[in-house]
Amino acid sequence: MQIIRASDMGFCWGVRRAVDMMEQQAAGGLPIISLGSVVHNEQVVEHLRGRGVGVAASAAELSGDRVAITAHGVGPQVLQELREMGKEIIDTTCPIVTRSQRWAKKLADEGFAIVIFGDPNHKEVRGVLQWAGNRGYAITEDEIDSLPGDMPSRVAVLSQTTHNPQRFANFVALLLRKRIDRISDLQMINTLCHATSGQQAAAEELAGLVDIVVVVGGRESANTRHLVEVCQARGVATHHVETESELQPAWFDGRERVGVTAGASTPDFVIDAVIARLEQFSSAVPA
Ligand code: SF4
């Protein structure tokens, strides 16, 4: 059995930047509490905890003077709340997310409804929605009919950064088809992140080369789950694991080539451990 790595996988530069910023700040000796998990990956959270970066689930649970905003960003009300609490804010929001937030605020201020193609419960989307004030709606392609009839006729469409480009394009087309009688002006702002679309393209390519794929990443990680969807859509057997301990030898019975890919929040040391475990069954070759 050969092991083939995706040509693009693992930490994106935005997550690497956020983790580096937090580690550097904590290295000074003053602890930091991050507001929510840095990324959707338990192993990264533990790694950072060992370096003085704790986690609080909400502002009410924060201790200490210093708080880090994660790469997903937060909305203006959260920032205001932290300022009123007198916290020193270390903002590691990914610049690509910041760009989405700025577009949402600018166009909402101009009177547009802000329709975000995304999951309203995802941390990044919750933040962008707050920047859109009371003009924001986060929906997927199945929920277009739920948009209110009295929504502003000028509509700006943004995407959760980690979504699949083709799905976003289809969403925009469907929105226009379904709402053409109620839209006077439609602006599509491409807020997709190329880091994840590159990883999705690499996963798709990988799925065409192998007969089983292992996708490594946190169960709560949206971009990891998208990689699973991409591989499944190619009809290849796909298993999502968080760590090497979940690998089951029976999955690989009769398989000749196994592909490995990983979400943008998966650190190198977790990927390496998965590959090392797979190598116990086989020999590795480069992609
Ligand atoms: S996936 Fe893209 S938008 Fe999200 S943190 Fe990474 S670089 Fe930034």
Is residue 71 in contact with ligand 1, taking CB distance under 6 Å? yes
Q: Mean pLDDT, to the nearest integer, of 240-261?
A: 95
For residue 206, name the pLDDT band (cuts at 50, 70, 90): very high
Q: Which ligand 1 atom sits nearest the alpha carbon of residue 162? A: 1
Give the pLDDT confidence of 91-145 residue by residue, as tens digits: 999 999 999 999 999 999 999 999 999 999 999 999 999 999 999 999 999 999 9
Tell me which residue has its CA closest to atom 7 in ligand 1.
Answer: 14
Q: What proportion of the chain, given as a percentage, has pLDDT over 90? A: 82
Average pLDDT, the chain: 93
Write down the pLDDT at residue 196. 81
Give pLDDT, residue 284: 43
pLDDT of residue 28: 86
Q: What is the pLDDT of residue 210?
A: 98
Which candidate in 46, 61, 84, 124 is catalytic? 124
Output the pLDDT for position 162: 85
pLDDT of res. 277 = 96
Q: In testing the pocket of ligand 1, which one of 9, 11, 15 has its CB within 8 Å of the most ligand atoms?
A: 15
For residue 227, is pLDDT > 60? Answer: yes
Helix (H, G, I), strand (E, B) or coil at 63: coil
Is the predicted pLDDT of residue 287 greater than 70, yes or no? no
- 264 in ligand 1 pocket by Cβ < 6 Å? yes
Whether 84 is catalytic is no
Rounded to the nearest angstrom, the distance between the alpha carbon of 96 and the centre of ligand 1 is: 7
Decide: 15 in ligand 1 pocket, CB within 6 A: yes
Which of helix, strand or coil describes residue 245?
helix
Return the CATH architecture of domain 2-10+194-284: 3-Layer(aba) Sandwich (3.40)
Helix axes 13-27, 42-49, angle to 10 degrees: 20
Q: 265: CA distance to ligand 1 center in Å?
A: 9
What is the CA(67)–ligand 1 centre distance, in A?
20
CATH of domain 96-188: 3.40.1010.20
Quick one: DSSP state of residue 41? Answer: -
Could you tell me the pLDDT band of residue 283, with boundaries at 50, 70 and 90? low
Digit-coded pLDDT (tens) for 30-77: 889 999 988 878 888 899 999 999 999 998 999 889 999 999 999 999
Q: Which CATH architecture has domain 13-94?
A: 3-Layer(aba) Sandwich (3.40)
15 Cα: distance to centroid of ligand 1 (angstroms) = 6
Residue 251 tokens read as 């999955």
Pocket lining: 195 vs ligand 1, CB cutoff 6 Å: yes
Distance 230 CA to ligand 1 centre (A): 18
Spans of all domains in the chain: 2-10+194-284, 13-94, 96-188
What is 17-58 written as a DSSP string? HHHHHHHHHHHTS--EEEES-SSS-HHHHHHHHTTTEEEESS
Average the pLDDT over 225-251 and give the result.
96
Token digits of residue 182 = 């109620």
**Residue 137 pLDDT:** 98
pLDDT band at 194 (very low <50, low <70, confident <90, very high): confident
Q: How confident is residue 195, by pLDDT bands cut at 50, 70 and 90?
A: confident
Check for a shared fold between 2-10+194-284 and 13-94.
no
Best of 13, 41, 123, 164 for a ligand 1 pocket test (most atoms within 8 Å of beta carbon): 13
Cβ(9) – ligand 1 distance below 6 Å: no
Q: What does the pLDDT read at residue 38?
A: 84
Strands of the sheet with 257-262, listed across from one edge: 237-241, 212-216, 257-262, 2-5, 283-284
pLDDT score for 122: 92
Other beta carbons less than 10 A from residue 24's beta carbon: 10
